[in-house]
Amino acid sequence: MDSSDIRHLVALEDSHWWYRERRAILRRELRELGRPGRALDVGAAGGGNTRVLVEAGWDATATDHSQAAVDLARERGLKAVRADARALPFEPGSMDLVTAFDVLEHIREDHLVAEEIARVLAPGGHALIAVPCDMALWSAHDDAVGHVRRYGRESLTIVVEKAGLKVDRVWSWNVLLRPLVELHRRRSQGSDLRRTPFLVNAGLSAVVRAERYLPVKSLKGVTLFLRARLGR
């Protein structure tokens, strides 16, 4: 993302249905992890997820390859460091949690990112990863936002496990809206990063919130989430 895209994302994320529900997923995962510690948010953009970590009591640092993203995160009062996800400037075993939402799909050497996540985690530390799902959904949107690939459960698990992490769970998100997304992406001519009309946004929010209570996480969705840990 360039500077204008990052600022546009930050302007959207507090109200847009996609970002709000993903923040809710992160909050639920943090509650399950229990006592906060040191956290690293890789590919943090403007720091939306980093802010969730801080609000939950974590000592969190945002990293991004873009200096514009780092500057914006700092403007928001967050600790932020410019870094390549393939060579994180942190000591081995220094983090209790690493989040990487929408990062791996942008980097050809995704195995190096997974290895760096494992390297900086302390024994027993956790990783929370989100990636776009299924090459069948590839569209002009993926080209516009700089994706290299979309993942299946097996391909994502292999990358993470080869890095030395133990996968606890992999689950799908945005399952109910997948048919609508698939139809939209066929007609897409660029990024979906745009403001959604209020009533449409409310309706889509209601649909994705329903997934919290329905047994759909094993079905195909638009996003894959993965939770892993570094063995003791």
What are the tens digits of pLDDT across the range 125-164?
A: 999 999 999 999 999 889 888 899 999 999 999 999 999 9
At residue 3, the pLDDT reads: 61
pLDDT at 2 over 60: no
Cα–Cα distance between 139 and 124 in angstroms, integer? Answer: 38
pLDDT in tens, 46-57: 899 999 999 999
Residue pair 134/153 in contact by the 8 Å Cβ criterion:
no
Q: Residue 109 belongs to a domain with what CATH number?
A: 3.40.50.150
C-alpha separations of 216 from 27, 208, 212, 222, 227 in Å: 20, 11, 9, 12, 17
Residue whose C-alpha is closest to residue 138's, from 151, 128, 126: 151
At residue 196, the pLDDT reads: 84
Range of the domain at 178: 3-229
Residue whose C-alpha is closest to residue 81's, from 70, 72, 92, 90: 70
Residue whose C-alpha is closest to residue 7's, from 73, 102, 79, 100: 73
Return all residues near 72 (Cβ < 8 A) that are at least 6 apart: 6, 7, 10, 45, 46, 47
- Domain count of the chain? 1
pLDDT at 8 over 90: no
**Amino acid found at 102:** D
pLDDT in tens, 180-209: 988 887 777 666 666 788 899 999 999 999
pLDDT in tens, 89-126: 999 999 999 999 999 999 999 999 999 999 999 999 99
Cα–Cα distance between 86 and 110 in angstroms, integer? Answer: 8
